Amino acid sequence: MLRRLISRETIARLFLHQGSQWPAKHLIEYLQAMAQSIKRLTSQVPGFDTILGGGLLAGSSYILQGRPGAGKTILANQIAFAQARQGGKVLYITLLAESHDRLFQSLSTLRFYEANRVGKDLTYLSLFRTLRTEGLTALVDLLRKELARQGSTMLILDGLLNARESGQSNLDVKAFVSELQGHAAFSGCTVLFLTSARIDDSSPEHTMVDGVLQLDEELFGSRTVRRMRVTKSRGSKALGGLHHYQICDSGIVVYPRLEAHLHHPSNTDHAPTNRVPSGIDDLDGRIGGGLPEFSATAVVGPGGSGKTSFGLNFLRLATPEQPALHFGFYETPARLASKAHALDIDIDELVTAGALSLLWNPLTENVIDGLAYQLLEAVETRRVSRLVIDGLAGFERAAVDSHRVIEFLAALTNQLRTLNVTTLCTWETRGLSAPALNASSPEVLSLFDNVIGMQLDEVDGMIFHGMKVVKIRDSAFAPTVTKLIIPNSTTGVILSDPGKHEPDNAGHAPRS
């Protein structure tokens, strides 16, 4: 226990002070072994342990701070019930004037709440009167006795602001936190301090605790956004920056910022040489047999140019052994099936056979990282080989900070390659013809192995579909605009020779 309580810095200073001749290499190895032996707690809060670099350190102390309504109490109780389910004993102290009845009433609406554990594995005490009438010293003494009596493995103190205001000086507050930490650490108890005040980094509380988490609720336009930040993390390599979180029926769900969590793909060694048919035979013949395996393709063009139809032809080649996923924002499954039927593609049959899955996220209020983790989980659990993301703008619209979209998409496409997925993404442009493609963000297009431009050309008062292969990884191709004929249910997709403009059976270009 003593080895776990003494910091690595303290041990290093001790060796230097005593003039130890122990080789520096051995000292470093010893300190690393100590760090690996420190136990981490499993919070069972999705994403929370990830942003902390593995979870809360057992026996350490943390501050959870944020304005009223940010979710501090929900998060603390969610962690508390998780510890109880894992055999821990939790002492929850409130320094607030409100009764616990209202707290339990609110918690009972959340799925993690288990009433039968209250009073058994979780003890709730209100010590507001003790603090007000007897002060911080009496409060520490009472807490010390309760920790020992109940054998608590976690102490949650809700109302640090009241304790802070009860002290006559910063020294009193520092002594209070220090004594409480000492008693808790001696018994291996982890401490969570909750406060609604935004405590300054130089405050005595900040200097004493091992970690600080800031929970913020902000308005972006008319939209409420909740984000969490680890501002201090002693002994852990936490993920920096702001991470979205939501409060739902299950409690708090944290979405680690994708580009921070997946900043480096786990597998960068494989360079596949196989080809994956695109679903358009004429195109495959022009690009060396199909799209490179495990590559990411951007299909770029204006609305009505055939992007979704391209994706449906790509998906129709899926099999139960090599299943596919359509991840879209605009088309409901019913509308997508109707569009596929016009191309003589039976989506329902593919779904029933286990060859295709459909995930639709309405373009309303979404969390960009939540969408990414939903997508990656579906890809892994369903062993997806072919993926169509119909509408990259859906991610862009979900982003509160538009400046991170490039890094986000880089992390997402890199991870999909690691998962051995051949991905096709559609991106809508404003213009109708080839110059509109050049106006697309070059930074975005550089993320993709392959880029195919879809366009609408006007000739003699008629509009025709065109396709231009802009980039194919490690492949030779003719960079010319090719006529694309999108069929009805009785014809196939046709690419005619460049320069020929042939209307479809109806005499005009059908919509995508």
pLDDT band at 38 (very low <50, low <70, confident <90, very high): confident
Tell me whether residue 268 is in a domain. no
Domain harbouring 309, CATH code: 3.40.50.300
Residues 70, 5 share a domain: no
Residues 461, 327 share a domain: yes
Residues 147, 198 share a domain: yes
Residues 100, 84 share a domain: yes
CB 189 within 8 A of CB 147: yes
Residues 175, 131 share a domain: yes
What is the chain's Cα-based Rg? 29
The percentage of the chain sitting over the pLDDT mark of 70, rounded to a whole number, equals 79
Q: How many Å apart are CA 298 and CA 472, to the nearest integer?
A: 10
Residues 458, 367 share a domain: yes
Residues 144, 43 share a domain: yes
Tell me whether residue 506 is in a domain. no
Task: Enter the tokens of residue 305.
Answer: 């140019």
Tell me whether residue 1 is in a domain. yes
Q: Tell me whether residue 152 is exposed, middle or buried, using C-beta atoms within 10 angstroms of its C-beta: 0 to 12, 13 to 18, 19 or more.
A: buried
CB 273 within 8 A of CB 424: no
Residue-wise pLDDT for 110-126, tens only, equals 999 999 999 999 999 99
pLDDT band at 4 (very low <50, low <70, confident <90, very high): very low
Count of domains for the chain: 3
Tell me whether residue 182 is in a domain. yes
CB within 8 A of 115, min separation 6: which ones? 104, 108
**Containing domain of residue 216, as a range?**
39-256
Residues 11, 86 share a domain: no
Among 88-92, 93-97, 137-141, 189-193, whose mean pLDDT is lowest? 93-97
Residues 323, 192 share a domain: no
**b/e code 410-439 from CB counts within 10 Å (16+ = b):** bbbbbbbbebebbbbbbbbbeebbeebbee
CB 43 within 8 A of CB 56: yes
Tell me whether residue 262 is in a domain. no
Q: To which residue do tokens 């403009």 refer?
A: 501
Tell me whether residue 90 is in a domain. yes
Three-class SS state of 220 = strand
Model confidence at 482: pLDDT above 80: no
Residues 47, 9 share a domain: no
Residues 286, 237 share a domain: no
Tell me whether residue 291 is in a domain. yes
CB within 8 A of 33, min separation 6: which ones? none
* Chain-centroid distance, C-alpha 327: 17
Three-class SS state of 65 = strand
Model confidence at 452: pLDDT above 80: yes
Tell me whether residue 377 is in a domain. yes
At 439 the pLDDT is: 42
Residues 215, 76 share a domain: yes
Length of the chain equals 512
Q: How many Å apart are CA 161 and CA 155, to the nearest integer?
A: 16
Dihedral (Cα; 275, 279, 285, 286), 10-degree rounding: -90
